[in-house]
Structure 1
Amino acid sequence: MNWIQIISGFFGSVGFALLFHLRGKQVLVTALGGGLAWAVYIFSGLFISSYSVQFLISGAVLGIYIEIMAIYTKMPRTAYIAVGIIPLIPGAALYHTMYYFCQSNRSLGKEYALEALVTSVSIAAGLILAMDFWKALRRYFFKHKKQIV
């Protein structure tokens, strides 16, 4: 069952890569980020019960993947972010938020809104942490004149 989710995350990312007019190898390498992010989310769920921490970890791994692949393929990071983050977007929580608010059930609407907010902040924090870590790592190696990707 988990493999189906990971493959679905990959192909969902492929769809968005095509929507953003990426072609050829670009589609594959950006969509792999989405599949990787979802795989990390599922795998971390085996050890961590907090979904916000799971999203933080998957955002951080996605951030490192983005940094490495952007340098390797000489593509902008935004292409990797836009495509790779697709499987992590809290669509169900956003849907339920709107549904319950439209049904005038404010308590459940607020509960799902908080879930969507926590998930979104966790993903963003993971990406920012990874990108700052990568920036610090590059600065260290540049200062010591060592080669890094």
Structure 2
Amino acid sequence: MADRFMGTLSVMQGGPIDESAAAVRVPRPPDPGRSRNMRAIRRADTKPELALRSALHRAGFRFRKDHRLDLDGVRVRPDVVFTRRRVAVFVDGCFWHVCPTHGRQPETNDWYWTPKLRRNVERDKIANEALTSAGWRVLRVWEHTPIEAAVDLVVAALEHASEAN
């Protein structure tokens, strides 16, 4: 029941509508179409991530994908990890990570989406801080970044990491 979407109770039976009661959330039966859409959302192996990994591999780079790092009590899963050079690359979706250019606030169910997207941004900050304090170089690439520019950013980070070592 916890994974079901909650609706907002808009009309109370019998008597005037109490403002505090109007915000009570009641379970809504699962919608098969919505459930199918939510299941189809990938955590890893998104199209922008696959494109970046493919381009890096063609350029001769070898890396780990979706590799879990345990850092001072914080678990982080960068999309592309260069372990020897200590470079972590995240490919962030504009909607899920609230891109300043393309991110948009959902118009429906904002009571659900606003805190969820805020938690994503906070988790990104925590991951960045944990990786940086552990000596990793963190690179975040937006999904709308052209693939050539994304590869150039990763190559520059790897060169900088090689010089530092």
The TM-score by the shorter chain falls in which range? 0.3 to 0.5
TM-score by length of 2: 0.35
**Quick check: which has more Rg, 1 or 2?**
2
TM-score under structure 1 length normalisation: 0.38
- The structure richer in strand per residue is 2
More helix, by proportion:
1
